[in-house]
Amino acid sequence: MDDIAAKIIDHLPDDGSSVFMLMGDHGMSDTGDHGGATSQETDTPLFVYKKGAGSVEDVSSVGDRGRAVEEIDQLDMAPLLARILNVPIPYTSIGTYIDLNLHTDKLPINCDKTALRDVLTNALQVVRYWDAYSKSAPLNKDSIGKVTRDVKRILKIALDKHTALFQLYKEDLQEMSNQECEQGILAYKEVFIFIKQHARETWTTFNNTFMIVGIQTHAYIPIHIYSYMCS
């Protein structure tokens, strides 16, 4: 696999315009299984390489790894790829904005108004989809309504922080510090965390009535076939 990846990278343009990504959809246990919930089966590596971006900072030490390496949900791949390709984020995505912190000349790319714009766009898209899906899905309207109100409240907090940065720097966000920018992004990420948590809790529930009907149907069909063949 290393040789294959190296050959692909060698053929990429050396101008910083190409990004090579290598990932897997699932892992595998020691016994060769991959349908369970163990970390061996659910965790996979993600390798990202930007060719022609200059020298890359060494992140092999413990301190650097704690800053540069983070856990990425597979849901987050859609907004990440959309950002890299400069295309709209898919409407049905609830993935989170990711800053891969690609390095150029040993310095991280500054957090700036482009990053804030990207995370704002992502947050508005996720909230819009949550709102539309929750209204049309056969879910508990009262509980979903409360979650939706909380979502909009958290989004408003993030928007207020974003607006405050605009007013502070008179719309010239290039002058703000990385710390201020990162605080703005973290406020939006609270929206993603909240929606993911409640989406998993509400959208992945089972309908007991439908399950019972399905089990009875599966049990009835072979019995009916057997009775028909024996008659």
Question: Does the model's pTM come out above 0.85?
Answer: no
60-84 core/surface letters (b: 16 or more CB in 10 A; e: else): eeeeeeeeeeeebeeebbbbbbbbe
Three-class DSSP category at 18? strand
pLDDT tens profile 186-207: 899 899 999 988 888 777 666 6
pLDDT tens profile 16-51: 678 888 888 888 888 887 877 788 888 888 887 777
Three-class DSSP category at 63? helix
3-state per-residue secondary structure call for 95-116? CCCCCCCCEECCEECCCCHHHH
Three-class DSSP category at 145? helix
Three-class DSSP category at 49? strand
pLDDT tens profile 49-86: 777 655 444 444 444 444 445 677 888 888 888 887 78
pLDDT tens profile 127-174: 999 888 888 776 677 778 888 899 999 999 999 998 888 888 775 656
Write down the pLDDT at residue 66: 41
pLDDT tens profile 214-230: 887 877 787 777 777 77
Write down the pLDDT at residue 134: 81
Cα 214 to Cα 72: distance, rounded to the nearest angstrom: 36
Residue 96 has pLDDT above 80, yes or no: yes
Write down the pLDDT at residue 58: 43
Phi, psi (degrees; rounded to nearest 5) at 46:
-130, 120
